[in-house]
Amino acid sequence: MEILLSVSFFFYVDMRVVIIGSGLIGRCWSVIFARAKYDVFLFDTISSMLPAAVADVGAQLEQFNRYNLLFNQTPADILKRIQTIDTVEKLNELFEQGIDHVQECVPEDIEIKTKLFLQLDKTVPVNVLIASSSSCIMPSQFTEQMKTRNRCIVG
């Protein structure tokens, strides 16, 4: 039963995903989630990076389209599902409105990740899964102080 629930999570129709970090990994997750027809909200603390991130996502989608990898969608249709969030205040408003998934894509720095996950612990509704794109740091190292660390995964 638990396996079915976790698998069906990724087939949820009206899913709203927040991606924190608009570097290469955040851009790739944006493509994956938007291509799956989810609403994507891309946030970066350096808001000036967001236009370049969206342009790069558009270029990735054009490349996918050349190889027929967009599941009968156009790059423009997928790109419409990606919105940028340029302030922490707007990000917190989005959390209050309701989201389904947070994908963390910040640099591999334990201090940055710890600070971010402690903030997410306070602001993200408790029923929301928080996934980290960590590749080198064990999640136990940056979730140790969280009250709701049981909802954190590497993904």
The identity of residue 122, as a single letter, is K
Please say whether the beta carbons of 123 and 115 come within 8 A.
no
Q: Return the domain boundaries, the chain.
A: 13-154
Return the CATH architecture of domain 13-154.
Answer: 3-Layer(aba) Sandwich (3.40)
Neighbours of 70 (CB within 10 A): 17
Q: What is the pLDDT of residues 35-80, one digit of tens each?
A: 999 999 999 999 999 999 999 999 999 999 999 999 999 999 999 9
pLDDT at 6: 44
Collect all residues with Cβ–Cβ distance below 8 Å to 69 and sequence separation of at least 6: none
Residue 154: which H helix or E strand, with range? strand 152-154
Residue 97: which H helix or E strand, with range? helix 88-97
| pTM to 2 decimal places | 0.89
